Amino acid sequence: MAEKTVQKQAVKLTKNMTKKQIQTFFERLREQRPHPETELNYSNPFELLVAVTLSAQATDVSVNKATDKLFPVANTPEQIYALGVEGLKQYIKTIGLYNSKAENVIKACQILIEKHNSQVPENRADLEALPGVGRKTANVVLNTAFGQPTMAVDTHIFRVGNRTGLAVGKNVLEVEHRLVKVIPKEFIIDSHHWLILHGRYTCIARKPKCAECIVSDVCNSVDKYEFGAVREIKVEL
Distance set, CA 134 to CA 118, 145, 183 (Å): 19, 16, 23
For every residue of 120-146, DSSP letters joined together read --SSHHHHHTSTT--HHHHHHHHHHTT
For every residue of 203-221, DSSP letters joined together read S-SSS--GGG-TTGGG---
Q: Rounded to whole angstroms, how far apart are CA atoms 132 and 27?
A: 35
Q: Return left, alpha or beta for 96; rule: phi > 0 is left, psi -120 to 50 is alpha, else beta.
A: beta
Phi/psi for 57 (5° steps) reads: 55, 35
The single-letter DSSP state of residue 74 is -
Residue 13 has pLDDT above 70, yes or no: no
Residue 59: what residue type? Answer: T
Catalytic residues: 136, 154
Res. 231 pLDDT band, cuts 50 70 90: confident
Residue 217 has pLDDT above 80, yes or no: yes
Residue 116 has pLDDT above 60, yes or no: yes
Res. 234 pLDDT band, cuts 50 70 90: low
pLDDT tens-digit readout, 151-206: 999 999 999 999 999 999 999 999 999 999 999 999 999 999 999 999 999 999 99
Q: Rounded to whole angstroms, how far apart are CA atoms 36 and 42?
A: 15
Domains and CATH numbers, the chain: 2-32+150-218 (1.10.1670.10), 45-144 (1.10.340.30)
Res. 8 pLDDT band, cuts 50 70 90: very low
pTM of the full structure:
0.86
1: buried, middle or exposed (CB in 10 Å: 19+, 13-18, 0-12)? Answer: exposed
pLDDT tens-digit readout, 93-105: 999 999 999 999 9
Whole-number average pLDDT of the chain:
92
